[in-house]
Amino acid sequence: FGHNPFGMPKGGIEALESATTDTEKLAIVADQFDMVMNGYEICSGGVRNHNPAVLYKVFDLLGFSESYVEEKFGAMLNAFKYGAPPHAGCAFGVDRILMELIDETNVRETLAFPKNGSGVDVMMDSPSTVDSAQLKELGL
């Protein structure tokens, strides 16, 4: 559960607050899943956390301050104040599915937007520098 603080822990905030030992904290689970085809993960998903109090507590258990959480995820937390409903979802890895369909052994051969070793998309020259006129146009 701790590898994904955005998953909703089973038992909610009560489970988080009652966990006092490391063993109890490590026993907290969430509804998260992976779908596997021929040994390759092709889909991941789960029930997402929609409760700000639970999210703050999860990050607290992971050693992060409330101010850190607000700095990094303030927009999402603000949106939750308007009543985000319980929600779940998943995302398929089209590149990995394609890899299986065409019997390719290297996922790099099926990536739609491959990057080089520096994380640059050389075909799109991305990321690139944004000039001040573009920033002004966007109000940034």
Residues 42 and 118: their CA atoms lie apart, in Å, by: 25
Beta carbons of 74 and 67 less than 8 angstroms apart: no
Q: Which residues of 113-138 are buried (b: 16+ CB within 10 A; e: fewer)?
A: eeeeeeeeeeeeeeeeeeeeeeeeee
pLDDT of residue 105: 92
Q: Tell me the three state secondary structure of residue 126.
A: strand
Per-residue model confidence as pLDDT tens digits over 6-33: 999 999 999 999 999 999 999 999 999 9
- Strand partners for 35: 43
pLDDT of residue 128: 86
Q: How confident is the model at residue 1 (pLDDT cuts 50, 70, 90)?
A: low
Q: Which CATH class is domain 12-137?
A: alpha beta
> How much is the pLDDT for 28?
92
Q: How far is it, in rounded angstroms, from Cα 67 to Cα 59? A: 11
pLDDT in tens, 75-114: 999 998 888 899 999 999 999 999 999 999 999 899 988 8
Is pLDDT at 62 greater than 70 in this prediction?
yes
pTM (2 d.p.): 0.70
**Domain assignments of the chain as residue spans, ordered by start:** 12-137
Average pLDDT over residues 44-54: 94
The interaxial angle of helices 66-80 and 52-61, nearest 10 deg, is 160
pLDDT beyond 90 at 122 = no
**Considering only CA atoms, which of 9, 13, 2, 15 is closest in space to residue 46?**
9
